Structure 1
Amino acid sequence: MTTLLWESGSAYDFFIALYVLHHPQEFGVRPTWAAGMRSRLPAGQRALLEMAQTFLGVPLPWLHGLPAEAKAAYPALQALAALPPAQRLKALLWRGDFTPAAEQALEHLIARGEATPEEREVLRETLTRRGRPLRPEAFQALLRTAAQAEAFGSAYLEALETFWRVFFCEEEARLRPWLARGLEEAQALARRTDLPNLLDLLSGGVHFEALEGIPELVLVPSYWSTPLVFYSRVAPERWMLVFGCRPPQQSLLPGEDLPETLLNRLKALADPTRLHILRYLAQGPQTPTQLARRLRLRAPTVVHHLQALRVAGLVQITITREGERLYALRPEAIRQAHADLVAFLNVSDTPSEP
């Protein structure tokens, strides 16, 4: 029996917004708009954040460990400032699946400014994300950063404070009511459905084998993560899932009047390779490797198309305990795309009389 725990706080969206602005394609966000938001930062701090985002990601375990009153964006930055500068990197990088050997390797790297080959290999294996290791250039950037952890800790905090001041402070006021609503609606949903269906609905079609039978699961609403999810082990027997709570008809970009979900679905469908993928998935679940063989394409190309279909909510994913991803069609999403288009155009869905 899994015990559900609930959290909410704009600090999660602060770090997720930072991630989304540096990985816009993963979320169906226009790269030019994301670049414009990043350009508000001074050039040096912008470069520092771009470099750090190659290996840091969203520090879910650290945020989870903060007291409730520090889970808003600026109080979280104050909590980070209270740490010694040299320890900030470890705090933001640590995850619940760090082994004692990995934690010791990171501490040695920060303290000595270098790591042994064995310690590097331990860190490389530990920092695998979603079944994929860090890219070699990202891992090298991490090693260089850890060797100068104190200087990085000071400069990175200043860059985060600037990001809060020039962008997120205003954004926080916009998203706060939606976080409260998302938490309330998810809790109501949890009272009337079982856990597998709850997670499927909150995640937009993701089944996590690793979350089956775990003792505790923390659920956190996020405006910026929509339509994707973030998840991590935050303690030995506790996982966290951050789910999107932005309404389907609402755009992440202020001022946009087009339904974002509908737009992403139409973009995803307007590609012959993706239509072929959906047709194959309609025949049964398949892995990216299996699809690559059928399409005679390279696996990375297929993964790119599957990501677009995932952002559009047109496919369901099963993430196995080994990290493998199995994709299936979401027929209800195809039907919903048609219904949403009819509703947006404000036309009748019945044929007119001749």
Structure 2
Amino acid sequence: MTEVVWDSGTAYDFFISLFVIHNPDRFGLRASWAAGVRSRIPFQHRQFLEETIDFLPAPLGWLNSLETDSKDTKTVLESLSMISAENRLITLFKNQEITPEVGITMQKIRSSQTIEKVDLESLKQIFVKRILPIKPKAIQKLAQAFASSSLFGDQLLAAYDSYYEVFFKEEENRIKPIIEKGLLDSQGLADTLSVSALVDELSKGVTYESMETLDRLWLVPSYWSSPLIFLIEPRINEKLMVFGCRSEDQNLVPGEYVPDGLVIALKALSDSTRLRIASYLQETPETPSSLGKKLRLRPPTVVHHLNIMRLAGLVQVKISKDGERSYSLRDQAIPSLVRQIENFFNDKFASS
């Protein structure tokens, strides 16, 4: 039986928010606002973060492994500062599904400060489960970071500190109460749902066949990840899922009038191809390949459309033990969207 364990702290959102502001389209965030946040970071640190974000994932495994009473950002950055500069990069990859072979490659590059073609092939293994393939240039930069690990470690901590001071310090105060409430609400759901049903509810439509066979499932509420999830394997036969706890009427952009989810859903259904996909998925579950045959589109194009619909909360994703994905239209997805539209206009008229 899978043991459900909870973890929480604003430091998770610190690292996730960095990823989101560099990939705003993937989260339905307005690109101009994300660019405005990045512009507040001093140029030297901003450039460094832009160059590293592709190969340095949010260190969720390392965060999960920290034995500290509080995982607020300041405490976590202090923990990072206590690690020697040359060891910071390799530490952040802790528990990120690193094989012994990859670990040896990391140490080899650090000690020799040279990079061979075989090293680049080895480092690619870190990213085999990524939805979007990593570019060779990013692999090269990762290898260079290991080759100059001490310098990179100093630059990394300085960039993190800078981002915290110019943006996230204030943002942390705004979102902390919402994360705390999200944790309590989710724990309440866990008392009444099976593990699979709980994951489906918290992820807003993702079902994993393998969840019931795990030894342990870590669940972490996040404001910035909404409505998507981050999933890693921190230890053997364990998974850690960061799930969104932002409600429909809460936005990433403070003070934004129109709910993010409503805008994203309307955009998703404003495309004729996605309307056809919704129609097919209402009838029966489909894979990207089967949809591609019906639509006469390449599977990568279909996946692009499905990702947009997933962001809008319109589709249910079932992931088999071997990683195959099938999609269906979520129950009540369209009626829920209609209710959101009605609520928006009713609230507008009530306040006018």
Shorter chain as denominator, the TM-score bin is over 0.9
Partner of 2:95: 95
| Deviating more after overlay: 133-142 vs 228-237 | 133-142
Distance 1:16 1:270, change over 3 A: same
Q: CA deviation at 1:224?
A: 0.5
- The 1-side partners of 2:116 and 2:210 are apart by 32
Contact 2:115 2:144 in 1 (8 A): no
SS at match of 1:69: coil
Contact 2:120 2:139 in 1 (8 A): no
Partner of 1:350: none
Residue 164 of structure 2 corresponds to residue 164 of structure 1? yes
Residue 119 of structure 2 corresponds to residue 104 of structure 1? no
Q: CA deviation at 1:133?
A: 4.1
Distance 1:43 1:298, change over 3 A: farther
Gaps of 5+ in 1: 348-354
Q: CA deviation at 1:171?
A: 0.2
Partner of 1:203: 203
Contact 1:226 1:244 in 2 (8 A): yes
Distance 1:11 1:186, change over 3 A: same
Residue 49 of structure 2 corresponds to residue 55 of structure 1? no
Partner of 2:17: 17
SS at match of 2:267: helix
Q: CA deviation at 1:115?
A: 4.2
SS at match of 1:241: strand
1:226 aligned partner, one-letter code: S
- Alpha-carbon deviations, 1:322-352, whole Å to 9, x = none? 33322111131111001111121129xxxxx
| 1:5-154 matches, cutoff 5 A | 5-130=5-130, 133-154=133-154
- Alpha-carbon deviations, 1:48-81, whole Å to 9, x = none? 1011110112111100111233511011111111
Contact 1:179 1:222 in 2 (8 A): yes
Contact 2:123 2:139 in 1 (8 A): no
Q: CA deviation at 1:131?
A: 5.3
Partner of 1:324: 324
SS at match of 1:68: coil
Partner of 2:185: 185
SS at match of 2:103: helix
1:236 aligned partner, one-letter code: I
| Deviating more after overlay: 62-71 vs 334-343 | 62-71
Q: Equivalent pairs: percent with the same residue?
A: 41
- The 2-side partners of 1:140 and 1:283 are apart by 45
Distance 1:82 1:93, change over 3 A: same
Question: What TM-score comes out, normalization by structure 1 length?
Answer: 0.94
Contact 2:215 2:237 in 1 (8 A): yes
Gaps of 5+ in 2: 348-352
Q: CA deviation at 1:96?
A: 4.5
| Deviating more after overlay: 110-119 vs 137-146 | 110-119
- The 1-side partners of 2:135 and 2:326 are apart by 23
- Alpha-carbon deviations, 1:271-318, whole Å to 9, x = none? 111111111212222222222232222333222211111110000112
- The 2-side partners of 1:302 and 1:114 are apart by 41
Contact 2:196 2:211 in 1 (8 A): no
Question: What TM-score comes out, normalization by structure 2 length?
Answer: 0.94
